[in-house]
């Protein structure tokens, strides 16, 4: 593998605490130029006969805070490498008492409270205007493979979680968490939007596994700390990786979902 022809079909976007995928073989790092002001470094390797890319969402060494992640550059870089399926991890606080720290949950819906992030590749001009459908924001095929893999590995995975995305980088107030609970949100985090939406605009399949790292503000009486989030991620990371690797090996070559047609009917034509 090497040079410009470095390609991958599946990608993992690693969130907080997921900075490498050590089971990949023949790994190579490549810097992918994008039109979005950043050229992410992506690791490309092999898992059996599949080519897999790995991209740490917050950059090498977690140097970029959630509200400043260049989500467009990240997704664009994966698309440039030929990626069609994306599996993401995301550290999340829990609003739902049934989703406990240390457990995993599959995102099913999101509610977007971000205010300051470029959230589309289509800003008019030559690229035009697109209104993408996000009725079902996460790929149903990837979700069912993840669920199946978790069942076989006997890893507890909550099958459906509604994720509230906040700008951060601060944690929430207790009142914000009470409001989010009333709105039906199970988890809260700072990164899944617009990542998930941008994947859809590129017609990629996208699924996200949340690692519950803490009870959200005001549920736990204790002060929230990033140290607590990092510690929980560290103790759960091996399980998440096992789930991802087992999932990757089960992904069929051809897609049977509608994610590859997400742009059909979405483009504004005059
Ligand atoms: N709030 C927002 N983002 C998070 C949290 C939280 O409680 N835990 C991990 N990421």
* Interval 209-267: pLDDT, tens: 999 999 999 998 888 888 888 888 888 899 999 999 999 999 999 999 999 999 998 88
How confident is the model over 127-136, as a mean pLDDT? Answer: 94
With respect to residue 175, please indicate whether it lies within any of the assigned structural domains. yes
Q: Tell me, in angstroms, the distance from the centre of ligand 1 to residue 166's CA.
A: 9
**What average pLDDT does range 164-171 have in this prediction?**
96
Give domain status of residue 120, yes or no: yes
Q: Is residue 5 part of a domain?
A: no
Dihedral sign, CA of 147, 245, 153, 16? Answer: negative
Number of domains in the chain: 1
- Give the separation between CA 189 and CA 13, rounded to whole angstroms: 15
pLDDT over 70 (residue 98): yes
| 260 inside domain | no
**Of the residues 178, 190, 224, 232, which should be mutated to test ligand 1's pocket, given the most ligand atoms within 8 Å of the CB?**
190
- Burial environment of residue 57 by CB neighbours within 10 A (0 to 12, 13 to 18, 19 or more): buried
Confidence of residue 1 (pLDDT cuts 50, 70, 90): very low
* C-beta of residue 183 within 8 angstroms of C-beta of residue 111: yes
The encoded tokens of residue 3 equal 């040079």
Whether pLDDT at 270 is above 80: no
Q: Is-above-0.85 flag for pTM?
A: yes
Interatomic CA distance for residues 168 and 95, integer angstroms: 16
Protein residue with least CA distance to atom 10, ligand 1 = 92
Q: Which residue has the tokens 């929230």?
A: 224
* Residue 184 placed within a domain: yes
Return the bridge partners of 28, or none: 44
Residue at 98 is within a domain: yes
> Which residues line the pocket of ligand 1, CB cutoff 6 A?
91-93, 166, 171-172, 188-190, 213-214, 216, 224, 229
Ligand 1 centroid from CA 93, angstroms:
4
Which one of 18, 91, 232, 233 would you pick to mutate in the ligand 1 pocket, going by the greatest count of ligand atoms within 8 A of its CB? 91
Q: To the nearest 10°, report the CA torsion of 175, 161, 171, 62.
A: -170
Provide the β-strand partners of residue 163: 110, 187
Domain assignment of residue 240, given as a range: 10-252
Q: Which residue has the tokens 């990371």?
A: 237
Return the SS3 of 45: strand
The pLDDT score that the predictor gives to residue 234 is: 86
| CATH code of the domain covering residue 102 | 3.40.50.1580
Choice between 207 and 18, residue whose per-residue pLDDT is larger:
207
Is residue 248 within 8 Å of residue 47, measured between CB atoms?
yes
Q: What band does 4 get if pLDDT is binned at 50, 70 and 90?
A: low
């Amino acid at each position: 593998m090497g040079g410009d022809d470095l390609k991958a079909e599946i990608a993992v976007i690693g969130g907080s605490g997921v900075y490498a995928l050590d089971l990949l073989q023949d790994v190579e790092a490549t810097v992918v130029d994008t039109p979005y002001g950043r050229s992410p470094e992506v690791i490309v390797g092999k898992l059996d006969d599949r080519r897999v890319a790995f991209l740490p969402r917050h950059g090498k060494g977690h140097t970029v805070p959630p509200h400043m992640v260049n989500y467009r550059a990240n997704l664009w870089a994966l698309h440039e490498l030929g990626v069609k399926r994306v599996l993401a991890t995301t550290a999340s606080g829990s609003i739902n008492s049934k989703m406990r720290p240390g457990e995993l949950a599959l995102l099913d819906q999101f509610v977007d409270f971000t205010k300051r992030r470029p959230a589309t590749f289509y800003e008019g001009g030559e690229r035009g205007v697109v209104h993408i459908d996000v009725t079902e924001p996460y790929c149903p095929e990837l979700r069912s493979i993840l669920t199946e893999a978790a069942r076989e590995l006997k890893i507890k995975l909550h099958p459906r979680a509604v994720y509230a995305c906040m700008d951060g980088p601060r944690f929430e107030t207790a009142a914000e968490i009470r409001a989010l609970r009333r709105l039906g949100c199970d988890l809260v985090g700072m990164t899944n939007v617009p990542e998930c939406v941008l994947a859809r605009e590129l017609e990629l399949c996208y699924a996200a596994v949340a690692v519950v790292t803490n009870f959200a503000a005001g549920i736990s009486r204790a002060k929230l700390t990033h140290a607590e989030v990092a510690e929980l991620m560290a103790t759960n990371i091996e399980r998440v990786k096992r789930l991802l690797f087992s999932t990757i090996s089960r992904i069929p070559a051809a897609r049977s979902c509608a994610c590859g047609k997400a742009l059909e009917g979405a483009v504004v034509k005059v």
